[in-house]
Amino acid sequence: MSKQQEKSIGWTMPVLAAHVANDLEDGWCVNLGIGLPTLVADFIPEGKEIILHSENGLLGLGPKPAPGEEDMDLVNAGKEPITLEPGGSYFSQSESFAMIRGGHLDAAVLGAFQVSQYGDLASWKLPDKLLGRVGGAMDLTVGSKRVYLFMKHCTKTGEAKIVEKCEYPLTAKHCVDRIYTDLAIVDVTQNGLVVRQLAPGVTFDYVQERTAAPLKKGEAVTSEIESTGVQT
Amino acid sequence: MSKQQEKSIGWTMPVLAAHVANDLEDGWCVNLGIGLPTLVADFIPEGKEIILHSENGLLGLGPKPAPGEEDMDLVNAGKEPITLEPGGSYFSQSESFAMIRGGHLDAAVLGAFQVSQYGDLASWKLPDKLLGRVGGAMDLTVGSKRVYLFMKHCTKTGEAKIVEKCEYPLTAKHCVDRIYTDLAIVDVTQNGLVVRQLAPGVTFDYVQERTAAPLKKGEAVTSEIESTGVQT
Amino acid sequence: MIDKKFNLAEQAVADIQDGATLLVGGFGGSGLPSNLIAALTEQGAKNLTVVSNNIGAVSDGVAALISNNQVSKIMCSFPVGPHADDLIQRLENGKIELEIVPQGTLAERIRAGGAGIPAFYTPTGVHTELGEGKEVRVFNNREYLLEEAIVGDYAFVKADTADRWGNLVYRKTQRNFNPVMATAAKTTIAEVNRIVEVGELDPEEIITQSVYVHRLVLLDGVREGRVLINE
Amino acid sequence: MIDKKFNLAEQAVADIQDGATLLVGGFGGSGLPSNLIAALTEQGAKNLTVVSNNIGAVSDGVAALISNNQVSKIMCSFPVGPHADDLIQRLENGKIELEIVPQGTLAERIRAGGAGIPAFYTPTGVHTELGEGKEVRVFNNREYLLEEAIVGDYAFVKADTADRWGNLVYRKTQRNFNPVMATAAKTTIAEVNRIVEVGELDPEEIITQSVYVHRLVLLDGVREGRVLINE
């Protein structure tokens, strides 16, 4: 299961971010995790109002400020200067996590170290590290109405990140709803992992070889294979 | 224990309110219960800053507004129009009771149906009534740093309100610190009920006869009796 | 585009079904969503469980739903007042069940419902009639009661100003139970005196964030009655 | 007359004893009471238990107390960052004990401490390493962990503006952990950019009520450093 991936194959991260952004619904309140997931903000389609939440106590996260306009009292969960959209508001951390844990966020888009076929997530601590960085990850995964992962399909060394059972310390069990990777979009369902969409030029078998848990073909994938006659 | 009380004897309620006001310390945050205890606000000495709390979500309660100046969005816990002092602020009921229960009020001055020699309080429901009116009484009594009662020594029919054991439904156990009545000021101590001060012309025995629990003489009462030679 | 505005209170309450749990803000008449209550009396849903602090203080509050025989259970801290006669009558003949909850416990149970906390311990009510049957547990040598969260199907709240997103700003003690109830219902409906453009509310002063509000009803200046009189 | 102002940060922190539990607001450098921390490094109290969300994000935060060997226990959600080397070294040689707490649980435990709630149940951390050894209980078919309140002997908070009574107003995301920590300590010390007359703050906009703040330190415009740079 440690297959190297060709550099040129699959979606680039910005294109993948656009896929995520496209799936967010008008009016949703969404938390984008620190790092890669923040890319999604740049691809929200015109005319769709997505209210971004930042767990340090802000709704209505806007883009980065212009150079020289940074305000140290206005930062995101990654402690980077940001701006506030019209309609945005400030609140405390306890109010912010009441909002998260209380189920008021429509979706959280998060990074991952490992995700299991049952939607268990490991994202806060590597087994060989002394320290983990849990931050708000456990609250976001148990509280958000939908948890989407935004991640590379494999590690830098080619190890599968989608696995039968997480070996790394868990963030939460049964919490992930959908996995967006450079190779495919995979739903976590009661019937197991179902590939919803393949990146252009990527076959089902190619994804399965780089996944350490059994995948199923979703309806759209099956019909595309049938219509194009492309071997998977 | 059902001795009628002479109408003219003891402190009037306004004078008693002045005694309470005098015992509140500069800078204290105090909740005055609905009804009689609200009198205390009128007797806070000049130069002493007492911040009054209203459990519907307000700190810095001011006096009643002038006629015609009532604002229906600015009411006290008795749902009467009031004003806000400079320095005052508004907050929600959940924040208000977090403040109360969290021990942030220096004192609550409350009414009572009965109080026991151990400081158990009954103040929310009469045994013969279908309904009680608990409101914030239970929270105020468990949360405030000090609970002072402000009440008539006996009921209208001459029954003692200070008793060995409350017969009426309890508000909280072991919560009362001091009892202000028209006849005396009584501390609830680990050694029982101690009379701290007698109203002018009222003897210790007179109070004891109208109290259904044993009273002790406090230091000030003892020394006054000794210096004046008045029989108790 | 987000737009939570309903033109009429009747439309905003139209889908409330028999048996729903309803949180109603207000402290007496202050911050009372009386127009939503009036619309619900016309709509007629029955067997409602109503959670509200005061019952009977004013005629156009929860008392109106009780008199209209729409309520089967009440949770409140203060079930008395000049308009409580119909409640008392229905309690006596067993048509309504009453759960008296200390005010702070009521507020905290609702907060817990909105904050994803299923239960918590509180010192309030220990060794009282209202604590009977509840789990008692000792922490640091003091006794506490276990209390469970309250979640509503609907919340009726009243605020002064909203924007299109549903952010709310209150006026003075109008806040009372409104901000906490707004967080604790599947569908929160707010009646407001005015709706401003997104961006007009001071982000430091927004008390109920947009995410908590699902429907907005703008008072038309005729039906709102009690509030504008005092402005 | 109420006056909570101390002329120097050194005076406001002078009585902090060895072994005290200290809550420190801020999220990275935003809303960080760095002048109080600096004063405490000079004051020198040892064996402190420090509760703060981020450790190591900035050099003038809790990291300064760690490097100065004043800390024996840390409770935080994010113990990593460019200035965490001294923490890691002291963890490895057993000089510091670390309790990692999920951020929302940390905030809620502190809120509980300020609100008189000794313990509560939360879904966060169930079936994880951070939930090990904690009581698990089922409500409505879901598992929850029991979490206990955190109360500090002292809280260090940062706000933008105060009045003489101790009311606090924050600026933007400066709020973070500051309002909740202010409620949960026996003695709350606030460093602020300005102090205005009582009555000058908008009563609708006060976030931390006067009752929660015991001492105020006005930044003198020289030592405050990081904040005014960005104004």
Q: D176 vs chain C: nearest CA distance in angstroms?
A: 13
> Mutate which of C110, C165, C169 to test chain A, going by most A C-beta atoms within 10 A?
C165
Q: Span A211-230, mean pLDDT?
A: 86
Q: Span D128-146, mean pLDDT?
A: 98
Cβ of D94 under 8 Å from any chain A Cβ?
A: no
Cβ of D176 under 8 Å from any chain A Cβ?
A: yes
Q: A79 vs chain D: nearest CA distance in angstroms?
A: 6
pLDDT-based confidence at residue A232 (cuts at 50, 70, 90): very low
Nearest to A170 among D111, D128, D207 (CB): D128
For residues C219 and C176, is the Cβ–Cβ distance under 8 A?
no
Q: D64 vs chain A: nearest CA distance in angstroms?
A: 19
Collect all residues of chain A within an 8 Å Cβ-Cβ radius of residue D227.
72-73
Q: Span D113-131, mean pLDDT?
A: 98
Who has greater pLDDT, B6 or A91? A91
Nearest to D121 among C118, C140, C172 (CB): C118
Q: C30 vs chain A: nearest CA distance in angstroms?
A: 24
Find residues 168-187 of chain D whose CB sits inside 8 Å of chain C.
169-172
What tens digit of pLDDT does each residue of D49-94 get? 999 999 989 999 999 999 999 999 999 999 989 999 999 999 999 9
Question: What pLDDT, on a 0 to 100 scale, did the predictor assign at position A129?
Answer: 85
- With pLDDT > 90 as the criterion, what percentage of chain A qualifies? 87
Touch between chain A and chain B (3+ CB pairs, < 8 Å)?
no
Nearest to A133 among D80, D91, D125 (CB): D80
Q: D97 vs chain A: nearest CA distance in angstroms?
A: 12
Collect all residues of chain B within an 8 Å Cβ-Cβ radius of residue D199.
86-87
Q: Span D26-51, mean pLDDT?
A: 97
- Provide the mean pLDDT of chain B: 94
CATH class, domain C18-100+151-220, is alpha beta
Give the Cα separation of C124 and C120 in Å (integer): 12
Helices (H), chain A: 13-23, 93-101, 137-143, 204-209, 219-228
Collect all residues of chain B within an 8 Å Cβ-Cβ radius of residue C31.
73
Domain boundaries, chain C: 18-100+151-220
**CA distances from residue D101 to A132, D76, D130 in whole angstroms, order as listed:** 11, 6, 7
Nearest to B89 among D167, D183, D184 (CB): D167
Q: C60 vs chain D: nearest CA distance in angstroms?
A: 27
Q: Residues of chain A whose C-beta is under 8 A from some C-beta in C?
A: 26-27, 29, 47, 49, 51, 53, 59-60, 84, 86-91, 97-105, 142-143
Find residues 182-201 of chain D whose CB sits inside 8 Å of chain A.
none
pLDDT-based confidence at residue D227 (cuts at 50, 70, 90): very low
Q: Is A145 inside any structural domain?
A: yes
pLDDT at D222 over 70: no
Collect all residues of chain D within an 8 Å Cβ-Cβ radius of residue B53.
211
Across-strand partners of B192?
B189
- With pLDDT > 70 as the criterion, what percentage of chain A qualifies? 95
Q: Span D171-196, mean pLDDT?
A: 98
Mean pLDDT by 10 residues, chain C (231 residues): 94 98 96 97 98 93 97 96 94 96 98 98 98 98 98 98 98 98 98 97 98 95 41 28
Count interface pairs C-D at CB distance under 8 A: 58
Cβ of C135 under 8 Å from any chain D Cβ?
A: no
Question: What pLDDT, on a 0 to 100 scale, did the predictor assign at position B229?
Answer: 61
Q: Is B223 inside any structural domain?
A: no
Question: What pLDDT, on a 0 to 100 scale, did the predictor assign at position A1?
Answer: 47
- With pLDDT > 90 as the criterion, what percentage of chain D qualifies? 92
Q: How many domains does chain B have?
A: 1
Report the Cα–Cα distance between both ends of chain D, in Å, rounded.
33
For residues A203 and A227, is the Cβ–Cβ distance under 8 A?
no
CB contact under 8 A, C212 and A101: no
Residue B52 structural domain: 3-217
Cβ of C142 under 8 Å from any chain D Cβ?
A: yes
Collect all residues of chain D within an 8 Å Cβ-Cβ radius of residue A55.
103-104
CB contact under 8 A, A89 and C116: no
Q: How many residues does the structure list for chain C?
A: 231
Nearest to C209 among A89, A97, A143 (CB): A89
pTM of the model: 0.96
Give the Cα separation of D12 and D56 in Å (integer): 25
- Which of A55, A80, A209, A224 is catalytic? The answer is A55
Collect all residues of chain C within an 8 Å Cβ-Cβ radius of residue B137.
102
Q: Is A226 inside any structural domain?
A: no
Question: What pLDDT, on a 0 to 100 scale, did the predictor assign at position A39?
Answer: 95
- Location of structure tokens 């309030």: C124
Contacts of C52 (CB under 8 A, 6+ apart): C23, C24, C25, C26, C61, C62, C74, C75, C76, C177
For residues A20 and A149, is the Cβ–Cβ distance under 8 A?
no
pLDDT at A7 over 70: no
- Closest alpha carbon within chain A to C111: A98
Give the Cα separation of A197 and A177 in Å (integer): 15
Maximum Cα–Cα distance across chain C = 57
Question: What pLDDT, on a 0 to 100 scale, did the predictor assign at position A3?
Answer: 62
B150: enclosing H helix or E strand? strand B147-150
Q: Which residues of B are catalytic?
A: 55
Give the Cα separation of B55 and A70 in Å (integer): 41
Cβ of C103 under 8 Å from any chain B Cβ?
A: yes
> Mutate which of D204, D206, D208, D209 to test chain C, going by most C C-beta atoms within 10 A?
D204
**CA distances from residue C151 to A199, A228, C107, C184, D144 in whole angstroms, order as listed:** 42, 51, 12, 5, 17
**CA distances from residue C115 to A39, A151, C206, D147, D175 in whole angstroms, order as listed:** 28, 29, 18, 15, 19
Q: Would you call A55 a catalytic residue per the annotation?
A: yes
Residue type, position B101, single letter: R
Q: D109 vs chain A: nearest CA distance in angstroms?
A: 9
Rounded to 5 degrees, φ, ψ at B196 are -95, -35
| Whole-angstrom Cα Rg for chain C | 18
Nearest to C175 among B57, B72, B135 (CB): B57
Residue type, position B8, single letter: S
Q: Where are the beta strands (DSSP E) in chain C?
A: 5-6, 21-24, 48-51, 71-76, 97-100, 119-122, 136-139, 142-148, 152-163, 168-169, 185-196, 215-218
Burial degree of A146 (CB within 10 A; 0-12, 13-18, 19+): middle
ipTM, two decimals: 0.96
Contacts of A176 (CB under 8 A, 6+ apart): A112, A115, A119, A120, A121, A141, A147, A148, A149, A188
Collect all residues of chain C within an 8 Å Cβ-Cβ radius of residue B98.
108
pLDDT-based confidence at residue A223 (cuts at 50, 70, 90): confident
CATH number for the domain spanning A75: value is: 3.40.1080.10
- Closest alpha carbon within chain C to A48: C1
From the list D4, D53, D51, the residue with the least C-alpha distance to D28 is D53
Collect all residues of chain A within an 8 Å Cβ-Cβ radius of residue C163.
87
CB contact under 8 A, B101 and D165: no
Question: What pLDDT, on a 0 to 100 scale, did the predictor assign at position B128?
Answer: 84
